[in-house]
Amino acid sequence: MLDEPRLDEPVIIGVQSLLYHTPMAGVVRMLEALDNSSRIGQSEGMCTGFVVTLGDASSERLLSDADLDELRARLPHIHQLRYHFFADNVGTSRGHNEMAQILDDPDYLIFSNPDVVPEPRAIWRMLAAFKDPSVGFVEAKQLPIEHPKDYASGTGFTSWATTAFAMTPRDLFVELGGFDSQTFFMYCDDVDYSWRVREAGKQVVFQPAAVVFHDKYLDTDGRWMPTSAEVRFSAEAGLLIAHKWSKPGLVKSILRRFESADASPEEKAAAREFRQREREGTLVEQRDPDHTIGTFAKGRYAEHRYSL
């Protein structure tokens, strides 16, 4: 077993997960794993509090008050299980920002997909990375498909962290204004936050010793199968992040492709959204004009170690 260096004082951990018509069996599986993580953290003196917030962006409530009472009884090591029904599909950026405002107790926030199951010590191995005061954002290793982006083997330093399961100090999240919900509905909000963390002089770290299981739907060739909505919002986010991080040439190149006769309906919709923001003057102010932070590598936001 790996030894985990401890911070000077036990901390309070807050975990946030956004639901959208999510099968509840997977949510319960995630919560049970978090309860076990909290049990270990408390017994070994790494945490004094463990709070989980579920934000529900579904059209109708997924959990009743009775369901929540039953879950709280089943999860004795989660100090607070909070449920916030948005009554609207708010997207990941706005959803996580609003959940982060519900409580100011946590010292560290974890953003988790509801279909992620962390191994019992993943959270505490992520927390250990913050013994280095230069670290601002830490990402876990996903199984069965590890994210292909590159990272430094000795330090774990990387361009950005995916919020499938990632941890940041709450104070830093608040200081940086959270995720950019004005720009990103979903996708690239984690890339943008990572780059603003690095812009603030902190490091983004991939922690391979912290392992989580993240379910994926694959085709017969073993490739990820995104939904139509995922394709649409990923395309839109790609345009918007290229604009925000001062890559006008890349914006023009993407728009040419998305506005061509061969573009998919999702790509054409993304181009229309960008053009509308351009006309209305609602695109955010550009940053990093010298390109010292943002990484654009063959349509990706980091060099990749293998194709996916």
pTM of the model: 0.94
User: What pLDDT does 1 receive?
Assistant: 35
pLDDT tens for the 308 residues of the chain, in order: 344 445 678 999 999 999 999 999 999 999 999 999 999 999 999 999 999 999 999 999 999 999 999 999 999 999 999 999 999 999 999 999 999 999 889 999 999 999 999 999 999 999 999 999 999 999 999 998 888 999 999 999 999 999 999 999 999 999 999 999 999 999 999 999 999 999 999 999 999 999 999 976 555 555 556 677 788 999 999 999 999 999 999 999 999 999 999 999 999 999 999 999 999 999 999 999 999 999 999 889 999 998 76
Contact 27, 19 (CB under 8 A): yes
Number of other residues whose CB lies within 10 A of the CB of residue 289: 8
Helix (H), strand (E) at residue 108: strand 108-112
Q: Given phi > 0 = left and psi -120 to 50 = alpha, else beta, which region is 290?
A: alpha
- What separation, in Å, do the N-terminal and C-terminal C-alpha atoms of the chain show? 31
User: What pLDDT does 136 receive?
Assistant: 98
User: What pLDDT does 4 receive?
Assistant: 46
Strand partners, 84: 55
User: What pLDDT does 307 receive?
Assistant: 78
Task: Sketch the domain layout of the chain as residue ranges.
Answer: 11-214, 228-280
DSSP secondary structure letters along 180-219:
-TTT-SSSSHHHHHHHHHHHTT-EEEEEEEEEEEE---B-
At the top level of CATH, the class of 11-214 is alpha beta
Q: Are strands 108-112 and 165-169 parallel, antiparallel or unpaired?
A: antiparallel
Can you state the angle between helices 248-258 and 265-280, rounded to 10 degrees? 130
Number of other residues whose CB lies within 10 A of the CB of residue 34: 26
Q: Which two tokens stand for residue 187?
A: 């996708």
User: What pLDDT does 143 receive?
Assistant: 93
User: What pLDDT does 178 receive?
Assistant: 98
Residue where the block lists tokens 């790996």: 2
Q: Given phi > 0 = left and psi -120 to 50 = alpha, else beta, which region is 231?
A: alpha
